[in-house]
Chain A
C-alpha cells in the first residue's frame, strides 16, 4: 500500500471553479507539503505544515489555500481556478526527527484548468 496517497489523480475543471486536492499519509510524519511541478521549473513549494496547528506559505501560495485536518491529512484548495494553475501537484511528507528533511512523495494529481 502506498504511504502517501493523493486524490484525485487527474482532474479537468473550468476557470472559476473551486477545486480541492487531498493528500493522506500513513507514514506517521508530522511535516506535510504541497508542491506544483511545471516543465523546466522543477518543484515549487506552495504551502507546508509542520503539525496540525501550523500552516506556512511557500514560494507560490497566491491563489491557493490549505487545510490540515489531522496529522495524516493535508488538503489543497484552489478557490477560483485559472488556466495558469494547470500543473502536476505533489504532496510530500517528512519526519521531524530527520535532520536532513528527506521528503516522501505521493503519486501526483494532474490538474487541467480550461
Chain B
C-alpha cells in the first residue's frame, strides 16, 4: 500500500517570501500525484496534479510542484506567498496499479503566512 509523508506539520513564513512544502511517497512503478488546499472552514480543493509528462506542474494561485521519481518526491513551491495562502495543504497519491485507484493522503502541512 502507498504511504505519503509530509515532512513539516507547520511552516511559518513571512508574506512575499518563497515557500516549499515537502511531500514524499513510497515507491511504485507509476503513480498520480496531487496537492489539495484546505482554507479555513472549507473543504479541500485541487491545487494541481501530476499524471505524466513534464515533471514541473503548474497549478492555481501561482503554485507549482516538481515530480522527482528517483527521490519519490512531489514538493510544492511558490516564489512569493500572500496572507491569503494561509491554509492547510495535503499531498495525495493514487496508484493506478491498485484496484479502485484510491487516494492516500499525507498528514497535511499548515502554512502560516505572517505580515
- Is A99 located at the chain interface by the 8 A CB criterion? yes
Interface string of A7-38 (1 = CB under 8 A from B): 00000000000000000000000000000000
Q: Judge whether A42 and B96 touch: CB under 8 Å.
A: no
Sorted nearest first, the 4 A-B pairs with minimum C-beta distance are: A105-B43, A42-B105, A100-B32, A105-B44
Query: How long is the Cα–Cα vector from A40 to B108 in the complex, in angstroms?
Result: 6
Query: How long is the Cα–Cα vector from A101 to B6 in the complex, in angstroms?
Result: 21
Q: Judge whether A50 and B49 touch: CB under 8 Å.
A: no
On chain B, which size bracket covers the interface? 20 to 34
- Is B34 located at the chain interface by the 8 A CB criterion? yes
Q: How many residues of A contact B (CB 8 A)?
A: 21
Smallest beta-carbon distance B65→chain A, Å: 15
Q: Judge whether A101 and B90 touch: CB under 8 Å.
A: no
Interface string of A49-60 (1 = CB under 8 A from B): 010000010000
Q: Given contact pairs A48-B100, A99-B32, enumerate 17 new A-B contacts (beta carbons under 8 Å).
A: A40-B107, A42-B105, A42-B106, A42-B108, A43-B90, A43-B105, A44-B105, A50-B100, A90-B43, A101-B32, A101-B100, A102-B34, A105-B36, A105-B44, A107-B41, A108-B41, A108-B42
- Is A87 located at the chain interface by the 8 A CB criterion? no
- Is B73 located at the chain interface by the 8 A CB criterion? no
B→A interface (CB under 8 Å):
4, 6, 9, 32, 34, 36, 41-46, 49, 51, 90, 94, 96, 100-103, 105-108
Q: Judge whether A48 and B90 touch: CB under 8 Å.
A: no
Query: How long is the Cα–Cα vector from A92 to B45 in the complex, in angstroms?
Result: 11
Query: How long is the Cα–Cα vector from A56 to B102 in the complex, in angstroms?
Result: 12
Smallest beta-carbon distance B104→chain A, Å: 9
- Chain B residue nearest in CB terms to A101: B101
Q: Judge whether B105 and A100 touch: CB under 8 Å.
A: no
- Contact flag A42-B107 (CB < 8 Å), given A90-B44, A102-B46, A106-B43: yes
Residues of B within 8 A of A103 (CB): 103
30 contacts between A and B (CB under 8 A): A40-B9, A40-B107, A40-B108, A42-B4, A42-B6, A42-B105, A42-B106, A42-B107, A42-B108, A43-B44, A43-B90, A43-B105, A45-B103, A48-B100, A56-B100, A90-B43, A92-B44, A99-B96, A99-B101, A100-B32, A100-B94, A101-B103, A102-B34, A105-B36, A105-B43, A105-B44, A105-B45, A106-B43, A108-B42, A108-B43
